[in-house]
């Protein structure tokens, strides 16, 4: 049987979930025997490939780029996993939602700047009005909360999905 394909991406988050993904010790060897990681911050591919079996998405949807990447991943993947509290609930990134994004940028890049004050516009994606959890932007099949989720939980979820089963986190479920 051909190897399955896993794609990962990192939207508005701290990369902690990817750290947790890498922290599953020898579990990752077993996982990579069944599947290849074909896209993500850990590999070189520039574009989300077609025909991905499992998309693992860390982070909340915060910018135009986040939204585009989430939509591409959804369209080109069979199953989408929201990994971690940011993807599942909005978490820390969503704490900006009470403040208009223009005010926020001005506070940081104008009022808070000691040199060359000005809100950056070139080469950076526009912020969305509100940070939203992943399921507000695309259809999500599996939610794995946690900040970050434990390596064992990630391994369990990915292993179940690769076996064609629907993972039930049960007592592994946790927020924060």
Partner 1 sequence: MTEKVKVRIDGEVIAATPGQTILEVARANNKYIPALCYMEGLSAVGACRLCMVEVSGVARLLPACTTPVQEGLAVVTSSPQLQSHRKIALELLFAERNHVCAVCVSSGHCELQALAQDHGVTHVRYPYNYPRLTVDTTHPRYVLDHNRCVLCSRCVRTCAEIEGAHVWDIAGRGIHSRLVSELQRPWGEATTCTSCGKCVQACPTGAMAEKGWGVEEMTKQPAVLSRLTSMREGQ
Footprint of partner 1 (CB under 8 A): 82, 85, 88-92, 94-95, 97-99, 130, 132-133, 135-136, 140, 143-145, 147, 169-170, 173-176
Pick the closer one to partner 1 by CB: 28 or 67: 67
The single residue listed with the structure tokens 């750290």 is 19
Closest by Cα among 95, 22, 84, 96 to 59:
84
Nearest approach in angstroms of CB 88 to partner 1 is 5
CB 41 within 8 A of CB 18: yes
Nearest approach in angstroms of CB 58 to partner 1 is 13
Residue 171 buriedness (CB in 10 A; 0-12 / 13-18 / 19+): exposed
Pick the closer one to partner 1 by CB: 39 or 156: 156
Pick the closer one to partner 1 by CB: 8 or 94: 94
Nearest approach in angstroms of CB 7 to partner 1 is 21
Q: Which pair of structure tokens corresponds to residue 32?
A: 């990579």
- Report DSSP state, residue 24: S
Nearest approach in angstroms of CB 8 to partner 1 is 19
- Report DSSP state, residue 20: H
Pick the closer one to partner 1 by CB: 100 or 118: 100
Euclidean distance between CA atoms 98 and 155, whole angstroms: 35
């Amino acid at each position: 049987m051909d190897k399955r394909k896993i794609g990962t991406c990192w939207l508005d988050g701290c990369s902690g979930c990817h750290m947790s993904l890498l922290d599953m010790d020898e579990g990752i060897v077993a996982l990579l025997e069944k599947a290849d990681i074909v896209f993500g911050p850990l590999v070189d591919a520039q574009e989300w490939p077609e025909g991905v079996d499992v998309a693992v998405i860390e982070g909340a949807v915060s910018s135009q780029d986040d939204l585009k990447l989430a939509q591409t991943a959804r369209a080109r993947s069979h199953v989408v996993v929201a990994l971690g509290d940011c993807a599942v609930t909005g978490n820390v990134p969503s704490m900006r939602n009470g403040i208009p994004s223009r005010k926020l940028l001005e506070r940081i890049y104008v009022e808070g700047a000691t040199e060359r004050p000005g809100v950056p516009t070139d080469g950076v994606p526009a912020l969305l009005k509100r940070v939203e959890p992943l399921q507000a932007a695309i259809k999500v099949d599996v939610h794995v909360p946690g900040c970050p989720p434990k390596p064992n939980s990630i391994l369990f979820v990915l292993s179940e999905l690769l076996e064609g089963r629907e993972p039930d986190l049960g007592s592994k479920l946790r927020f924060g």
